[in-house]
Amino acid sequence: MKLDEFFVTGEPLVYGGMVSIVLVTSAVIFLLTYFKRWGWLWREWLTTVDHKKIGIMYILSALAMLFRGGMDALMMRIQLAFPNMNFLNAQHYDEIFTTHGTIMIIFMAMPFLIGLMNIIVPLQIGARDFAFPFVNALSFWSFFFGAMLFNISFVIGGSPDAGWTSYTPLSGAAMSPGPGQNFYLMGLQLSGIGTLATGINLMVTILKMRAPGMKLFKMPIFTWSTLVTCFIIIFAFPILTVALALLTIDRIFGSQFFTVTGEGMPMMWANLFWMWGHPEVYIVILPAFGIFSEVIATFARKRLFGYHAMVWSMILIAGLSFLVWVHHFFTMGAGAFVNSVFSVSTMLIAVPTGVKIFNWLATLYKSKIEFTTPMMWSLAFIPSFVLGGVTGVMLGMAAADYQFHNSYFLIAHFHYVLIAGTVFACFAGLEYWYPKMFGHKLNERIGKLAFWFFVIGFHVTFFPQYFVGLDGMPRRVFYIIPEWMPLNVISTVGAFGMGVGFAIFVFNIYYSYRNSEREKTGDSWDGRTLEWATPTPVPFYNFATVPHADKYDAFLDMKEKGETTFEEEKLEPIHMPSNTGQPIIMMAIAAFASFALIFEWITLAVIGLVGVLIMMGIRSFDYDEGYHVEVDEIKRIEREARGL
Amino acid sequence: MAEHSKRFPINHIIGFVLSIVLTLLAAWAALGSDLPVKWIVAGIMTLAVIQAGIQLFMFMHMTERESGGGHVPWNMMFHGFVLAAIIVAGSLFTMSFGFTHDHDDGGSHQQEEQQEEHSGH
Ligand code: HEM
Ligand SMILES: [Cu+2]
């Protein structure tokens, strides 16, 4: 293979990307070397098994991916603003909408939420870490390298261009030769392993490591949403794993699962993809529901209305989410009976979702609302998400979907649920738990400015798309006709508004780091759940003494009784896991193997795979039992953190 | 924990070796043997069931007593079976029902329309 086949050539935008990658990488290397921070980076971050630090790394990566996906989005919006634009050509446009969709769902939304779960769930249930801290680090690095692998495709080898759904036969070897589509397959496969492992890890953590007295139906609602999400992950991700593997075997080893020529079935890909894909959209919305529930209860200063109904509706949603997948391909042409069955099951999902909406409203009803930034995101979420849900039900009517399908109406629908749901929740959750993570709040005034830019920008961008969709504009086109122009111009303006909002949000992180007042207590918002019982910054072992949590809103109860998580007479040495470099090394080797497989260098791939197996062997004989933190040390740390 | 992990895991080794042997046997049946196809399929199915049994009982804690919130492994097994049923029955249902209708009356026209729909993906 020649070098000019290896690197992507001929696109000014891609050259720009290459230059910025080189510049940023050199800058990072220079800074680390100049400030002599390599050892610190390795000891404190790359080898950590601390769930809080891993969570922060997840969130940082997700923010970076939000930036990358957002850039893709702005480029698409520029191209679509006017008829006859020549900003992107057809091929480049295809690549960009593919990477945009894949990155936003797989490498932004999920990691962001998993990052928040990482940090908060153990704190909420009174645990000192995950059940399997080593596996948690492994999960993070598998996500991280999967994301890097996918992102590098636009400068090396060429990006995938068959949509985030990667439908066969288009994504098969015959119609998409070359490494592009393999990047999609291996990037998702590698990070999917991590997601599945996290699902199992968090589920075990929640089932086995709750504070004494905390029954399942006493758990905070965000923890509940995480538990239900883990359940969906555990049962949905294997389907994706198998589908990706089948398509990889098709493309690289010449089998015929998804080709017509070999008596395969191209539509079987769509079938398998959406059997995972629909549960996946609930994987990214249920934790969002959990976050909003926490934020709304905290700032309405009321107990969450209908806690049991909230939990059961999530369980119902999780079950139903496995029974509706065909609504993504009603137009495949299965008979009216098949479509009707899935039409009904789809509309059923709206019922538990509606129950949740009314519970939030009832929580707010007659409450004294405190308008903090996280609360503003939550309040904006409710009406916006309802718009997304209602149009979802419209799409769920099979006969009508023959009109809406693959038009901008669909685009507007899923952005209304994904942005107003997941993205708002990520911002709300980050701002809400920010003081717990970093010891100071984000500035409220700048936060609200970002909020208004983003929310107004969001509606200006996507509301017109419902109508331009009804006017017949299909998704995934790179030219518009003059009739669609006015609404598209509005959309593009809105998109830049969202961009400004995001920029302000990121600036706020820097500004608050410099200027915000440092937290003195651990209880920044007068919270209700156990994460606020820990001091800020949270000591690495979380809880000096694990509290008894036999009431819902356990921390409220503790505050009433005057209990803390530092009861000196109950102190005992704490058993903690040791840091280890094995996860990052193992996953780096796995990434190397995947990269080789992407270019179909089989020998190298096999060598990489053997490397991974060797790392697993090493891990099997690793008898490191961790270490104990002694009582004196705990006392010293807690006294300092609590200013005693 | 400590004494548990230092004991020689004889059960696991046997299970591990057995599962590899079964896999090789299945691969040989499919690639190397010249048994009739029916026999191969039936044979592989049988091997798969034995394989699943080995995994479940030697590695997956199926024999442990129930704890806390019920017997978690059995619970997950149950849901796994439900999901497998949904996948298999659901795929058969969606991928094979109702298509004949299109072939009967003016099928070619409908087919073309569908082609157009999907070229957009
Ligand atoms: C009331 C609940 C919902 C209903 C009834 C619903 C219904 C639908 C239907 C019928 C489609 C397919 C339309 C078509 O392709 O023509 C669709 C697409 C989609 N929905 Fe929803 N939906 C709901 C909620 C959600 C949520 C909560 C999310 C994610 C957070 C979501 C994300 C998506 C995505 C990403 C697509 C497009 C996938 C693609 O083709 O690329 N939906 N929805
Ligand atoms: Cu769906």
- For residue B40, is it within any domain? yes
Q: Quick check: A208 and B86 CB within 8 A?
A: no
Q: Are residues B35 and B77 in the same domain?
A: no
* Residue carrying structure tokens 């057809």: A90
Nearest ligand to residue A355 Cα: 1
CA dist A27 and A44 (Å) reads 21
Q: Are residues B1 and B38 in the same domain?
A: yes
For range A520-544, the mean pLDDT: 91
pLDDT-derived band at B102 (thresholds 50, 70, 90) equals very low
Q: Are residues B46 and B27 in the same domain?
A: yes
- For residue B46, is it within any domain? yes
How far out from the chain centre does Cα A598 lie? Answer: 25
CA dist A496 and A595 (Å) reads 35
Q: Are residues B56 and B1 in the same domain?
A: yes
Q: What percent of chain A lies above the pLDDT cut of 90?
A: 84
Q: Are residues B55 and B78 in the same domain?
A: no
Q: Quick check: B87 and A207 CB within 8 A?
A: no
Q: Is B76 on the interface with A (CB under 8 A)?
A: yes
- For residue B7, is it within any domain? yes
Which of A269, A339, A395 has most ligand 1 atoms within 8 Å of CB, for mutation?
A395
**Chain B CB contacts of A162 below 8 Å:** 121
pLDDT-derived band at A394 (thresholds 50, 70, 90) equals very high
Q: Are residues B44 and B86 in the same domain?
A: no
Q: Exposed, middle or buried: residue A369 (CB in 10 Å: 0-12, 13-18, 19+)?
A: middle
* Residue carrying structure tokens 């794993």: A241
Nearest residue of B to residue A324, measured between CA atoms: B90
Among the candidates B60, B76, B111, a domain finishes at B60
Which residues, 6+ apart, have CB-to-CB distance to B13 below 8 Å? none
Q: Are residues B12 and B38 in the same domain?
A: yes
- For residue B54, is it within any domain? yes
Which has more confidence, A129 or A14?
A: A129
pLDDT of residue B98: 56
Q: What is the pLDDT of residues A227-254, one digit of tens each?
A: 999 999 999 999 999 999 999 999 999 9
Give residue A368's identity as a one-letter amino acid code.
K
Residue A505 has a CB neighbour count (10 Å cut-off) of: 23
Q: Are residues B54 and B75 in the same domain?
A: no
Q: Are residues B25 and B80 in the same domain?
A: no
CA distances from A262 to A257, A303, A474, B119 (A): 8, 60, 32, 20
CA dist A345 and A287 (Å) reads 22
Q: Are residues B35 and B82 in the same domain?
A: no
- For residue B113, is it within any domain? no
Residue A71 in this model has a pLDDT that exceeds 50:
yes
With a CB-CB cutoff of 8 Å, which residues 92-111 of chain B face chain A? 93-95, 97-99, 101-102, 110
Domains, chain A, with CATH or none? 284-518 (1.20.210.10)
pLDDT of residue B6: 57
ipTM for this model: 0.86
Contact A610, A78 (CB under 8 A): no
Give residue A367's identity as a one-letter amino acid code.
S
Q: Which domain holds residue B93?
A: 65-97
Nearest residue of A to residue B1, measured between CA atoms: A625
Task: Indicate the number of domains in chain B.
Answer: 2
Q: Tally A–B CB contacts below 8 A.
A: 71
Q: Is B37 on the interface with A (CB under 8 A)?
A: no
- Counting every residue written for chain A, the total comes to 644
Nearest by CB to residue A322, choosing from B76, B83, B121, is B83
* Residue carrying structure tokens 């270019």: A599
Residue A220 in this model has a pLDDT that exceeds 60:
yes
The closest-lying atom of ligand 1 relative to the alpha carbon of residue A396 is 10
Q: What is the pLDDT of residues A122-160, one digit of tens each?
A: 999 999 999 999 999 999 999 999 999 999 998 888 899
Q: Are residues B44 and B80 in the same domain?
A: no
Residue B69 in this model has a pLDDT that exceeds 70:
no
Q: What is the pLDDT of residues A29-65, one digit of tens each?
A: 998 888 888 999 999 999 999 999 999 999 999 999 9
pLDDT of residue B114: 45
Rounded to the nearest whole angstrom, what is the distance from the C-alpha of residue A388 to the centroid of ligand 2?
A: 12
Q: Are residues B40 and B77 in the same domain?
A: no
- For residue B114, is it within any domain? no
Task: Supply the mean pLDDT for chain A.
Answer: 94
Q: Is B10 on the interface with A (CB under 8 A)?
A: no
Residue B41 in this model has a pLDDT that exceeds 80:
yes
- For residue B93, is it within any domain? yes
Q: Is B86 on the interface with A (CB under 8 A)?
A: yes
Cα dihedral value B77, A107, A279, A54, nearest 10? 40
- For residue B117, is it within any domain? no
Q: What is the pLDDT of residues A255-291, one digit of tens each?
A: 999 998 888 899 999 999 999 999 999 999 999 999 9
Taking any CB pair shorter than 8 Å as contact, residues of chain A touching chain B are 162-163, 165, 167, 170, 207-208, 216, 231, 234-235, 239, 265, 267-268, 271-272, 275, 322-323, 325-326, 331-338, 341-342, 405-406, 474-476, 623, 625
The pTM score is 0.92
Contact A248, A189 (CB under 8 A): yes
